[in-house]
Amino acid sequence: MSKPSRFDYGWVIVAAGALMTCVGFGTMLSLAVFLQPISEAMGWSRAGVSAAATLDFVVMAGAAFFWGTLSDRLGTRIVVLSGSLLLGLGLVTASQAAELWQFQLCFGVLIGMAAGSFYAPMMALASAWIDQHRSLAVALVSAGMGVSPVTVAPTASWLISTYDWRTAMLVIGCAAWALLIPACFLVRQAPVAAGPATTDAAPEAELTAAQALRTPQFIALAGAHFACCAAHSGPIFHMVSYAMVCGIAPLAAVTVYSVAGLSGLGGRLLLGAMADRIGAKPVLVGGLLVQAMCIATYLAVAQLGEFYALSVAFGLAYGGVMPLYAVLVREFFGARIMGTVFGAVSAFASLGMALGPWAGGLVFDNFQRYTWLHAGSFAIGLAAVAVALSFPSKRRLPLDLGRAAA
């Protein structure tokens, strides 16, 4: 009698996680929409404003590991509630910043700390609640990130055009509090399953978190996630700005970003379902290869129709691969230490994400174009494919690895 209720409520956890990733990452990534208005209104360089996004991801790297470990020890609800309070605070205070360093501190540090509290803990919790269709479940939690460009970004753009950037950011901060704080009280820890564990529920050898972080499997997975995010972060963050440089109208440029985000949502569902059928590793490698090819194609697009077509393919690829790292962590290291291990993997991903916004702003300030950003991102994307190929295909850690780690 306990299994159906556990399974049913697991989807409530998935829905709450999707909302949190949507609002958390949507507000953070909305800086791409705020970039030009803030730069023009305040006289701050694009590199300086973009540095706030770089700070977001650097801070989120440490925060992801911290929050993931804390969720393993104290539970997920207190973690996401703390993050929700910090997210609104960061947006509200950033909207009142008078100096660039104040904006970078409020938007870069507080929001980065907050965003790190949602992704790894809620992905770990969803995978603990859902036994069957686990890839789809974590894909849906991650799908919130894909929904954000078609919800938060257009809302921010409309508020900026109707009022100004300060009012827009203030309103979004208050809305974040109103949406996330109630959702935090839906979060519950997964009940411990009775009976013997399933064959793929845990690795053959039970490792401690410290042992897991020293395994070749962790190193390969963290390296692939780092390179994956380093490759796509710049093209995503500067997508609106690049389209405008190519002569696309501002509101149309935002729709290009929204199309990529909506496609990313579809990619998460499609690749998540494929991973449930044929395994996460081959789907990950294929998605990373498509991502690299799409980044290279940005060197050749200039028209609105071309941007839309590329956004569909690029969104499918970069959106679809993101939840697969959580699936592989769960398969190799089990549920007991997943918050800690996936938090550490996410920390490397955040460091990769930190490179793109800063590098893109620096490239544009120096060359008034984004050519070198896309060329460099393409090379890093190919490196991500190579690292992912080195990841072992077996679903569980070899027994001798467990003995060696012990």
| Structure confidence by residue, pLDDT tens digits, 189-223 | 887 654 444 444 444 457 787 888 888 889 999 99
Is the Cβ–Cβ distance between 86 and 118 less than 8 Å?
A: no
Query: Looking at residue 36, what is its pLDDT?
Result: 84
- Non-local (6+) Cβ contacts of 79 within 8 A are 67, 70, 71, 117, 121
pLDDT in tens, 329-362: 888 887 777 888 888 888 888 788 878 877 887 8
Residue 183 has pLDDT above 50, yes or no: yes
The answer to whether residue 390 scores a pLDDT higher than 70 is: yes
Write out the two tokens for 114. Answer: 């907050």
Q: Write out the E strands in 195-310.
A: none
Q: What pLDDT is attached to residue 205?
A: 54
Contact 33, 261 (CB under 8 A): no
Please tell me the predicted confidence (pLDDT) of residue 314: 95
What is the pLDDT at residue 172?
Answer: 95
**What are the backbone angles phi and psi of residue 115, rounded to the nearest 5°?**
-60, -30
Which token pair is 224?
């692939």
What local confidence, expressed as pLDDT, does residue 185 receive? 94
| Of 152, 156, 146, nearest in space to 261 by CA | 146
By CB neighbour count within 10 A (0-12 exposed, 13-18 middle, 19+ buried), where does 392 fall? middle
pLDDT of residue 145: 74
Instruction: Give the phi and the psi of residue 125 in degrees, each rounded to 5.
Output: -65, -45
> What distance in Å separates the CA atoms of residue 36 and residue 49, rounded to the nearest whole number?
9
Which range among 40-54, 121-135, 281-295, 319-333 has the greatest average pLDDT? 281-295
- CB contact at 8 A, 385 and 287: no
Does the reported pTM lie above 0.75?
A: no
Residues 336/328, Cβ–Cβ less than 8 Å:
no
In sequence order, which residues have a C-beta less than 8 Å from that of residue 201 and are 6 or more positions away? Answer: 131, 193, 334, 335
User: Which residues are CB-neighbours of 111 under 8 A, at least 6 positions away?
Assistant: 27, 28, 56, 86, 87, 90, 91, 94
Q: C-alpha angle 117/120/125, rounded to 5°?
A: 105
Quickly count: other Cβ atoms within 10 Å of residue 299's Cβ. 12
Chain mean pLDDT for the chain: 84
Average pLDDT rounded to a whole number, residues 47-51: 84
- Give the whole-angstrom CA distance, residue 58 versus residue 106: 14
Residue 395, helix vs strand vs coil: coil
Which domains are seen in the chain, by residue range?
Answer: 7-188+204-405 (1.20.1250.20)
Please list the alpha-helical segments (H only) found in 107-215: 111-115, 119-129, 134-147, 152-162, 165-184, 209-212
CB proximity list for 228: less than 8 A, separation 6 or greater: 288, 291, 318, 321, 349, 352, 381, 384, 388
Note the pLDDT tens digit of each residue in 76-113.
999 999 999 999 999 999 999 999 999 999 999 999 99
- What percentage of the chain has pLDDT greater than the value 70? 90
Q: Residue 294: pLDDT above 60?
A: yes
What DSSP designation does 369 have? S
% of the chain residues with pLDDT over 90: 38
DSSP 289-346: HHHHHHHHHGGG--SHHHHHHHHHHHHHHHHHHTTHHHHHHHHHH-STTHHHHHHHHH
pLDDT confidence of residue 284: 94
- pLDDT band with cut points at 50, 70 and 90 for residue 394: low
> pLDDT tens digits for 146-178?
677 678 888 998 999 899 999 999 999 999 999
State residue 254's pLDDT score.
81
Residue 381 pLDDT class (50, 70, 90 cuts): very high
If we measure between CA atoms, which residue out of 198, 132, 128 comes closest to residue 339? 128
Q: Is residue 253's pLDDT more than 50?
A: yes
For tokens 């190193």, what's the residue? 219
- Average the pLDDT over 244-253 and give the result: 86
